[in-house]
Amino acid sequence: MVLLRLAMRSFSVVSQLLLVRLLTPSDFGLVAGASAAYAILDGLTETSMTLVLVQMQAPQRHDYDTAWTLVAARGVIVGAALWAAAPFMGEYLHDERVGGIMHVLAIVPVIQGLESVGMVRLQRELQYGRIFFYQLANRLVGFMASLPLALIYRNYWALVLGGVAAKLLAIPLSYILAPHRPGLTVRSAPLMFSFSKWLLVNNVLTMIDNFLMPAVFGRIGGVRSVGIYQVSHDLAALPASEVAAPMRKPMHGGYARVADDLPALQRQVLDGLGFLTMLIVPMSAGICITAPYAVHVALGAQWSDATPLVALAAIYTLFDALGHFTGGIYMVRHAQRPYVMIMALCLALRVMLVIPAALYGGLVAAAAVMAATAVINAGLWFSHLRGILKLGWSDLLAPTWRSFAAAFTMMATVAAAEFSWPLQEPIALLQWIAFSAMGAAIYVAAHLSLWAISGKPAGPETQLLRRLTFLTRRPAGDRG
């Protein structure tokens, strides 16, 4: 399963890079602008029925049917609103093509609302194999539809129609993998809404945060600026989106099982934080320090403006991912209200600083502010979490400081090497590979050295070594 997950993540990255080579920043900007409108409407109406069902002790048939009814009705509402908002979004982004894309995307929430609610049961029963297959099939169909369209037409419709094709497949596949004959009822609606009210506020704030930059850049610089930002963000966010996000779901499931046992919860949180930090900090630091080479090799010359954005986005997506790690812990300790209040405060600070930075300094200044506010926001979330878990700063730093120190050592060494061997276009790929390998070796050596100097305390290093020992002792046929 581990190897299959890695294959899916690698496939996602490769497919995205292929499309980036075939299409232009404006193509990605058009789709990102239309998708932002969809995401805004989606976030404003999201009630997290899936999470409500997961949190229930023993959901009944009518609970599942109520969730399906509400989600399906919401899909129709969002689709109609997206269709109606199309001309206004085209005017906002100064490009009427955005409206045409939104008219096509209006069918997506309607389709998605019909997904089998039985998929929630798979999550409750920890049947991650079926969930993984479902996600892989969606990505595969989307790419297989987008690639030939991109080769033939070389425009934004390849991205749009590929996404619609994936959603069309998702519905029948969901009922094959998780059969459930839905019934129309709202019997459990009051109970579900009482639980999800804070989740709704959280979703709205998350939506604003996710699409603040595209909205600002779209208004100031047009669809090309949106495209450059979106692709830069997607490349820089790979450690957060492809490593941290998938890890959080099973971690939070484990936290829920020991939510009332504070010592056990403390141990799990510190172990999870240490392991997550050990993995994603060097990845994000590596993307940041090798950004010129990554952009030149992975994206191409037409994306050269993305270089400083990739470097800065790697920093703010790293700290955003660490901050979001705390979300599930707040939920299982029934602290949704303070979590949402802190998120609102963090978002207000970000909005107040990012908008003037974008107006007067452009994309790079706005990205720098995003990085600074990400560090502040993560600090605020962890500061309040200390009180909830009865932990001190020393407890939080113990499993994480070696990862940051080793990553800083890696960045300093690689930066010195890059200074002595500047980017040369004919051998840019070779340079990127060399600097990446150098950085990985230095990080591992520095991390293990610091761990040994510290007396080899129990932490993420011991977790990793135990896991590697377990894998090497398993029969070859049992791996993956």
Distances (CA, A) of 60 to 50, 64, 175, 184, 268: 14, 7, 19, 14, 30
The span from the CA of 40 to the CA of 34, in Å, is 10
Rounded CA gap, 185 and 64, in Å?
A: 9
DSSP string computed for 235-297: HHTHHIIIIIHHHHHHHHHHHHHTTT-HHHHHHHHHHHHHHHHHHHHHHHHHHHHTHHHHIII
Look-up of token digits 């990985």: 440
Distance CA 419, CA 440 (A): 18
The answer, yes or no, to whether residue 213 has pLDDT greater than 70, is: yes
Range with lowest mean pLDDT among 153-167, 284-298, 393-407:
153-167
Please answer whether residues 346 and 377 qualify as being in contact, where contact means their C-beta atoms are separated by less than 8 angstroms: yes
Give the pLDDT score at 195: 61
pTM: 0.76
Separation of alpha carbons 239 and 321, rounded Å: 9
Per-residue confidence (pLDDT) for residue 282, from 0 to 100: 96
Q: How confident is the model at residue 10 (pLDDT cuts 50, 70, 90)?
A: low
Q: What is the mean pLDDT of the chain?
A: 84
Distance CA 432, CA 418 (A): 10
Which pLDDT tens digit goes with each residue over 221-235? Answer: 777 888 888 888 888
pLDDT single digits (tens) 395-420: 999 999 999 999 999 999 999 999 99
Q: Which residue has the higher pLDDT, 417 or 472?
A: 417
